[in-house]
Amino acid sequence: AQTVTQSQPEMSVQEAETVTLSCTYDTSESDYYLFWYKQPPSRQMILVIRQEAYKQQNATENRFSVNFQKAAKSFSLKISDSQLGDAAMYFCAYRSAAGGGADGLTFGKGTHLIIQP
Amino acid sequence: NAGVTQTPKFQVLKTGQSMTLQCAQDMNHEYMSWYRQDPGMGLRLIHYSVGAGITDQGEVPNGYNVSRSTTEDFPLRLLSAAPSQTSVYFCASSPRGGLLAKNIQYFGAGTRLSVL
């Protein structure tokens, strides 16, 4: 079974600064997908960014980028120019490519991101 | 533009009561899943379905039943609620795997359930 570990229960950053959230995972599979989801106080799960394991290039979505290190099984999220609206819980998640990923996501326990004005 | 719709948004039950959490999606997705979210635990998979008539257990299935009679609906049943089932429940759907599908799961807004 796969496991996802987020070692930072809480992070704090000044507005406009850059912050990196850590995620490591354990799997014996070679083909999989990794995701970062954002959960604001509204509870809605919002996809931030995704990465295919077969791609060496790190994914980027505007101010959000990842550092994907497949050999180290590491998948960190970097948020540049932090904004007050970025304050939320952030979850790292893994999805197997086997069977088309039918059996859902495996989540980490989350990192609570605080933005200081 | 509804996406994944969960009802109700909030529910309070007494121990031993039964209820069904509803989930419907209008995106014609084959895959649907139920998760529960507890403080400090992240989201954990309860049950999932790969299509109408096909369901399987996830990480924490005990105390929950599911069925999938149509592509659109995937209800979660609590037959005899227990305080340990107090949680926030999320339903999610995704298209069958493939490059175009991007393997993204789309989540409903969640149901907060309290069992007294």
pLDDT digits (tens, 9 = 90+) for B36-63: 999 888 899 999 998 999 999 999 999 9
Is B31 close to A44, i.e. CB distance below 8 A?
Answer: no
Look at residue A11 in the predicted model and tell me its pLDDT. 97
Q: From CA B65, how far away is CA A1, in angstroms rounded?
A: 23
Q: From CA B54, how far away is CA A8, in angstroms rounded?
A: 38
Q: From CA A27, how far away is CA A31, in angstroms rounded?
A: 10
Look at residue B37 in the predicted model and tell me its pLDDT. 96
Taking contacts as CB-CB distances below 8 angstroms, the residues of chain B near A101 are: 31, 94, 97, 103
Contact present, B6 and B23 (Cβ < 8 Å): yes
**d(CA A75, nearest CA chain B) in Å:** 17
pLDDT at position B20 over 90 = yes
Most confident of A47-56, B38-47, B79-88, B95-104: B79-88
Digitized pLDDT (tens) for each residue of chain A, 117 residues in all: 789 999 999 999 999 999 999 999 999 998 899 999 999 999 999 999 999 998 889 999 999 999 999 999 999 999 999 999 999 999 999 988 876 666 788 999 999 999 999
Cβ atoms within 10 Å, residue B10: 10
Taking contacts as CB-CB distances below 8 angstroms, the residues of chain B near A93 are: 43
Residues in chain A: 117
pLDDT at position B96 over 80 = no
Is B105 close to A43, i.e. CB distance below 8 A?
Answer: no
Look at residue A1 in the predicted model and tell me its pLDDT. 77
Helix-, strand-, coil-residue percentages of chain A, each rounded to 5: 5, 50, 45
Strands A10-14 and A111-116: parallel
